[in-house]
Amino acid sequence: MTAHILAIDQGTTSTRAILFDAEGQPAAKAQRELRQIYPRDGWVEHDPEDIWADVLTVVRDCLAKAGVMAGAVSAIGIANQRETTLLWERSTGRPLHNAIVWQDRRTSDFCDALREQGHEPLVRARTGLLLDPYFSATKLRWLLDHVPGARVRAAAGELCFGTVDSFLLFRLTGGAVHATDATNAGRTMLFDLAEKRWDPELLDLFDLPAAMLPVVMDNCADFGAADPALFGAAIPIAGMAGDQHAALIGQACFEPGMVKSTYGTGCFALVNTGSDRVSSDYRLLTTMAYRLDGRATYALEGSVFSAGSAIQWLRDELGLIAEAADSAALAASVPDNGGVYLVPAFTGLGAPYWNSQARGAILGLTRNAGAAHLVRAGLEAQGYQTRDLLAAMAADMGAAPRELRVDGGLAENDWVCAFLADINGLPVERPAVTETTAQGAAFLAGLGVGVYTGLGAVSKAWRCERRFEPAMAPAERERLYGGWRKAVGRVLHESEGESV
């Protein structure tokens, strides 16, 4: 088998390289944890040189483990943590500052001020996003304001801005290519989704020079080739997408209405809306799903801040379980949640609430409530939060999703998958390859070099490992979800009393 595809998945907490064979099966994998830098409360940074060194290491390790020479790799695909903002020197590739990570809140005040000045409708109309520090634009502005001389040099074209995909591409091609893809561009808060170009009015609003921006390409494209000095051969880079978009592709959600939900630290659900750019009445984000042959397919996205982190909390702070996987048996040891609800709003509530002041709560405790009820409540919260997102999607699209494809660490928990099916009243499908983000990057690269002939061929390569059918009576489903709605209502009410 010669048609190997190498996927690089550069995530927030780790960097992975996975080599896929022509059937789309993983043949080898290497991974490194990424060092997190917290210079101040609410600030999160990565050292770009760490990211680069980790990428080189995992790619080399992965090829060595597989016993495959670089010359036998047909293409590289890249998936990456989105929105994280980098600034580097065009002539040398030298970063001018640490990368500012998507979680970083240092530009909150600036975003609040812009919102108060009434700029959010423009941002929403052009980019599909909310005016929030999460996205790249205000982070980039911060860099230009704080790195001495950066603004002048950026205007003169001496500096490059990019998200992680763009930085990796620049380094991999030995500085030959400064480009990004449409899904990553779409998360900067600078990209006009309808016109498919950097938006001059937004560049003006954030005071950013156009000379520093990367070229925006389709998700499958000729992005250049990896410098042969790096891995021993010039491997074409043929696919690139932001991680959640790559996961949507890895789950083969190519038809309008198909939904995937990824459960890691947080939870990200995307529904394909086809060629329609649906704008949400429920504070979901409008985003590009993927762009192939110049044609955009869109998605609605809902992000929940705390998913797996709630399980980590039950394990590490409360000590109720030794391993995350133990949660399934403990939850199953009691017949029901005993009326206990856990709202994991540790860092506020994401979609569809977007309340950064909200904090977590446990409600409904009785003298009979025990560890098993609390753990069960933590797992059930995954189902309720997902239902909040799917309900918003259904309302925005005028049709409810028919099934849900799941991935991420938490999706390995059978109890969670079964509860997701029950509480949402739809079948839940878990794929054979759970590294869906890397698989999506590999699919894109494979499409780019013709290993796959089209999306139909990719759909055929996707395999379901297990399908969970809903088994709960509708009345019970509504009773349980009603309890969650009440619990969230109380958390939101409580947050209103907070002094900001």
Sequence-distant (≥ 6) Cβ neighbours of residue 303 within 8 angstroms: 266, 267, 268, 269, 285, 350, 351
Contact pattern from residue 215 through residue 254 relative to ligand ADP, giving x for each residue in contact according to CB under 6 A and a dash for the rest: ----------------------------------------
- Three-state secondary structure call for residue 29: strand
Report the residue number, 12 or 272, with the smaller CB distance to ligand ADP. Answer: 12
Single out the residue of 72, 211, 234, 324 in contact with ligand ADP (rule: CB under 6 A). Answer: 324
Binding region for ligand ADP (CB under 6 A) out of 97-105, 215-223, 322-330, 389-397: 322-330
Single out the residue of 18, 66, 235, 311 in contact with ligand ADP (rule: CB under 6 A). Answer: 311
Single out the residue of 8, 9, 11, 278 in contact with ligand ADP (rule: CB under 6 A). Answer: 11
Residue 270's Cβ-count burial label (10 Å; 0-12, 13-18, 19+) is: buried
DSSP 452: S
Closest-CA residue to 444 (of 80, 188, 75, 10): 75
Single out the residue of 89, 412, 478, 494 in contact with ligand ADP (rule: CB under 6 A). Answer: 412
Edge-first strand listing for the sheet containing 14-20: 26-33, 14-20, 4-10, 73-80, 237-242
Q: Does 413 bind ligand ADP (CB under 6 A)?
A: yes
Q: Does 309 bind ligand ADP (CB under 6 A)?
A: yes
Report the residue number, 213 or 420, with the smaller CB distance to ligand ADP. Answer: 420
Q: By the 8 A CB rule, do 80 and 168 touch?
A: yes
Binding region for ligand ADP (CB under 6 A) out of 136-144, 281-289, 319-327, 469-477: 319-327
Single out the residue of 72, 325, 362, 395 in contact with ligand ADP (rule: CB under 6 A). Answer: 325
HSE-up (13 A, CA, CB side) for residue 115 = 13
Q: Report how far apart the first and last C-alpha atoms of the chain are (Å, whole number).
A: 60
Report the residue number, 214 or 266, with the smaller CB distance to ligand ADP. Answer: 266
Q: Does 406 bind ligand ADP (CB under 6 A)?
A: no
Q: By the 8 A CB rule, do 243 and 251 touch?
A: no
Report the residue number, 13 or 453, with the smaller CB distance to ligand ADP. Answer: 13
Binding region for ligand ADP (CB under 6 A) out of 162-170, 218-226, 249-257, 303-311: 303-311
Q: How far is the CB of 308 from ligand ADP (least distance, A)?
A: 2
Binding region for ligand ADP (CB under 6 A) out of 281-289, 306-314, 466-474, 480-488: 306-314
As a whole number of angstroms, the distance between CA 377 and CA 374 comes to 5
Residue 425's Cβ-count burial label (10 Å; 0-12, 13-18, 19+) is: middle
Buried b (16+ CB within 10 A) or exposed e, 77-109: bbbbbbbbbbbbebeeeebbbbbbbbbbbbbee
Sequence-distant (≥ 6) Cβ neighbours of residue 35 within 8 angstroms: 46, 47, 50
Contact pattern from residue 464 through residue 483 relative to ligand ADP, giving x for each residue in contact according to CB under 6 A and a dash for the rest: --------------------
Binding region for ligand ADP (CB under 6 A) out of 96-104, 112-120, 321-329, 418-426: 321-329
Report the residue number, 34 or 123, with the smaller CB distance to ligand ADP. Answer: 34
Q: How many residues does the chain have?
A: 500
Size of the site for ligand ADP (CB under 6 A): 16
Q: How far is the CB of 343 from ligand ADP (least distance, A)?
A: 17
Q: How far is the CB of 207 from ligand ADP (least distance, A)?
A: 33
As a whole number of angstroms, the distance between CA 59 and CA 438 comes to 13
Closest-CA residue to 94 (of 37, 151, 171): 171
Single out the residue of 2, 13, 333, 368 in contact with ligand ADP (rule: CB under 6 A). Answer: 13
Q: Does 312 bind ligand ADP (CB under 6 A)?
A: yes
Residue 426's Cβ-count burial label (10 Å; 0-12, 13-18, 19+) is: buried
Q: How far is the CB of 377 from ligand ADP (least distance, A)?
A: 13
Window 67 to 96, contacts with ligand ADP (CB under 6 A)? none
Note if the bond before 352 is cis, omega within 30 degrees: yes
Contact pattern from residue 327 through residue 346 relative to ligand ADP, giving x for each residue in contact according to CB under 6 A and a dash for the rest: x-------------------
Binding region for ligand ADP (CB under 6 A) out of 358-366, 405-413, 444-452, 474-482: 405-413
Q: Which amino acid is at 369?
A: A
Q: By the 8 A CB rule, do 393 and 276 touch?
A: no
Q: In 10 A of CB 121, how many CB atoms?
A: 10
Q: Does 371 bind ligand ADP (CB under 6 A)?
A: no
Q: Nearest 5°: CA angle at 164, between 140 and 46?
A: 75
Single out the residue of 162, 308, 352, 383 in contact with ligand ADP (rule: CB under 6 A). Answer: 308
> Which residues form the interface with ligand ADP (CB under 6 A)?
11, 13, 264-265, 308-309, 311-312, 324-325, 327, 408-410, 412-413
